[in-house]
Amino acid sequence: MQALKSPFQQGFPEDCRKEAFQFSQVVNAIMMRLSDVVSRHLRAGDIVQLREWGRLKLEIESEKVDSPEEFHPKKHIRSVRLHIIPESENGKPVLYKDIEFKKEKI
């Protein structure tokens, strides 16, 4: 009678490592694609909605000018920021759901 080999003798850890690596490659590819799509929409001036995160949009701070013809981006734009407006349920942001905020004693 031949003894049964344990999963560790049959290369189980190596198989798991390979599958985990392949899975991480898939997740990385999805995240890179998501990043590309979100960036493209933000650059186009769109507001991007991500479930359980909220809405993302670019905000531009600039100096005021009297007419559109006087506006020059390099001269008048002071900053561009990514603004995240957290998704909320009943007025409470889902993103902060399980976080407990405490004031630190100084």
* Per-residue pLDDT, 20: 85
In-domain check, residue 31: yes
Q: From CA 85, how far away is CA 92, in angstroms rounded?
A: 12
Q: Where do we find the tokens 């949009």?
A: 57
In-domain check, residue 106: no
In-domain check, residue 65: yes
Tens of pLDDT, residues 17-32: 888 888 889 999 999 9
Are both 59 and 84 inside the same structural domain? yes
How much is the pTM? 0.63
* Per-residue pLDDT, 6: 56
Find out whether 99 and 93 touch, Cβ atoms under 8 Å: no
Strand partners, 60: 80
Are both 78 and 51 inside the same structural domain? yes
Tens of pLDDT, residues 47-99: 999 988 899 999 999 999 999 999 999 999 999 999 999 888 887 887 777 88
* Per-residue pLDDT, 1: 54
Average pLDDT of the residues in 33-60 = 94
Are both 41 and 51 inside the same structural domain? no
Question: Total domain count for the chain?
Answer: 2
Are both 75 and 91 inside the same structural domain? yes
* Per-residue pLDDT, 4: 58
What 3 state SS string does the chain have? CCCCCCCCCCCHHHHHHHHHHHHHHHHHHHHHHHHHHHHHHHHCCCCEEECCCEEEEEEEEECCCCCHHHCCHHHHEEEEEEEEEECEECCEEHHHCCCCCCCCCC
Are both 73 and 92 inside the same structural domain? yes
In-domain check, residue 90: yes
Residue 70 belongs to domain spanning? 47-97
